[in-house]
Amino acid sequence: MAKSVRNKSSLWFSDGCLFLGGAFSALLLVWGFWSFIAPIPITDPNFDSVSTKLKTLKNPRTVPSTVICSTSAAETTTVPNLRHDPPEATFYDDPETSYTLDKPMKNWDEKRQEWLNRHPSFSAGAKSRILLVTGSQPTPCKNPIGDHLLLRFFKNKVDYCRLHGYDIFYNNALLQPKMHTYWAKYPVVRAAMMAHPEAEWIWWVDSDALFTDMEFKLPLNRYKNHNLIVHGWPTLIHEAKSWTGLNAGVFLIRNCQWSLDFMDVWASMGPQTPSYEKWGEKLRTTFKDKAFPESDDQTGLAYLIAVEKEKWADRIYLESEYYFEGYWKEIVETYENITDKYHEVERKVRSLRRRHAEKVSESYGAVREPYVMVAGSGRGSWRRPFITHFTGCQPCSGNHNAMYSPDACWNGMNKALIFADNQVLRKFGYVHPDLQDNSVSPIPFDYPA
């Protein structure tokens, strides 16, 4: 078996080299010319198509579109074209179009569609395209280990995005100086919608939240009739009138006119407006358990759902079936047992122990799905929680809520970050054997049989 594989690949290798020998001077010409316009990486989609054309020109036999000996790439026609922006005017060319929140956007759906029509390589697949947006303050953290923690929280988001092919934007500029703390994300989300018309969804994830199931994917199908998805419970908002009936630290918002209109109304409760104090009072009268007098975005959202129900609620999905974001206190103690449960499954299912390239990880997530689905999800389940959110721990400032001991917060975060990193490092051949300890060991073959 091993022998025939080697034979095949060396045959292939020489085929590739034959082709390369034939086309190399032509390629060099193209290459040289293109590098002159701008330095381009070898993965540029245009380069692929040029090499494919060259291949058919030079070699009528069916040879993989080989650019370098022994690798081959399929013809890629739906790969986003990063080098094409036609001269026809779009919303970007309209001086009236503003990135800032104080100037409402009109007809965004048409404008975005027009841009997509002019950029067909982005139009394909646009419906499920996600841009993850996160960020932190412009200045160093007060907590001596704050910046280190934020770096690891960010690494975790980059890992998740790389595994699923999502783009990510980290912002650390205060775009509207008066919109500080939890209000700071709205100008960013608004600007991200305009900067990324190719993305259907903007996914805001707070800097103190992390992915603790690197395989789980958002069930976008479930949200096809909704524009804003948050973790929440309708009875807690509508009946109990609790400001913790939802959490605004993680939300998925559709890149469309509805969302822009909604954010205009939502953000109008913020500190940049003259009615900020009035909103603080109003929110506190409606949601009696609200802990502080200032108007905040989370209670603001609960207000719009509960009070302006007719206007907005039918497009807002309150997700409670899984940890769209989960409260760390009820989660961090479960990571060890969850790790054991997943190992138990892997000992039984050989295909889950198979080593593989990181790029094809999603397919192993799909294989695992039926085995972990039986666990249910959410509180008490041994399924990995999707997102763990360190609400109240304030890793950057260090001013954690007095309810928690500093050790509970720091140890919890460290454990969560290691638990998540284990799912990533596995594809690189290593594991942190102890969730309390950053050290690693190489993974033996057929782990964890």
Ligand X SMILES: *[C@@H]1O[C@H](CO)[C@@H](O)[C@H](O)[C@H]1NC(C)=O
The residues of the shown chain that bind ligand X, judged by CB under 6 A, are: 333-334, 337
Nearest approach, Cβ of residue 215 and ligand X (Å) = 22
Alpha-carbon torsion (301, 399, 171, 99), positive or negative: positive
Structure tokens at 24: 């190399």
* DSSP at 32: H
* 360 vs 374 by CB, closer to ligand X: 374
* 378 vs 398 by CB, closer to ligand X: 378
* 239 vs 333 by CB, closer to ligand X: 333
* 333 vs 362 by CB, closer to ligand X: 333
Considering all CA atoms of the chain, what is the largest pairwise distance in Å, rounded to the nearest integer? 78
* 114 vs 336 by CB, closer to ligand X: 336
Residue 76 burial (CB < 10 Å; 0-12/13-18/19+)?
A: middle
Residue 12 burial (CB < 10 Å; 0-12/13-18/19+)?
A: middle
Nearest approach, Cβ of residue 420 and ligand X (Å) = 18
Nearest approach, Cβ of residue 382 and ligand X (Å) = 9
* 266 vs 382 by CB, closer to ligand X: 382
Cβ atoms of 390 and 209 closer than 8 Å:
yes
Question: Closest-CB residue for ligand X?
Answer: 337
Using CA atoms, how far apart are residues 262 and 257, in angstroms rounded to an integer? Answer: 8
Give the DSSP per-residue string, 121-161: HHHTTGGG-EEEEEE--SS--SSTTHHHHHHHHHHHHHHHH
Cβ atoms of 230 and 286 closer than 8 Å:
no
Nearest approach, Cβ of residue 347 and ligand X (Å) = 16
* 338 vs 409 by CB, closer to ligand X: 338
* 333 vs 434 by CB, closer to ligand X: 333
Residue 35: partners with Cβ closer than 8 Å, 6 or more residues away: none
Nearest approach, Cβ of residue 376 and ligand X (Å) = 15
Nearest approach, Cβ of residue 437 and ligand X (Å) = 19
Structure tokens at 195: 């900067």
Burial pattern 243-265, b for ≥16 Cβ within 10 A else e, equals bbbbbbbbbbbbbbbbbbbbbbe
Nearest approach, Cβ of residue 339 and ligand X (Å) = 10
* 261 vs 330 by CB, closer to ligand X: 330
Cβ atoms of 58 and 16 closer than 8 Å:
no
* 181 vs 337 by CB, closer to ligand X: 337
Task: Return left, alpha or beta for 16; rule: phi > 0 is left, psi -120 to 50 is alpha, else beta.
Answer: alpha
Nearest approach, Cβ of residue 435 and ligand X (Å) = 12
Using CA atoms, how far apart are residues 181 and 166, in angstroms rounded to an integer? Answer: 26
Nearest approach, Cβ of residue 380 and ligand X (Å) = 9
Nearest approach, Cβ of residue 334 and ligand X (Å) = 5
Amino acid symbol at 209: A
Give backbone dihedrals phi and psi of 216, rounded to 5 degrees, phi first. -65, 140
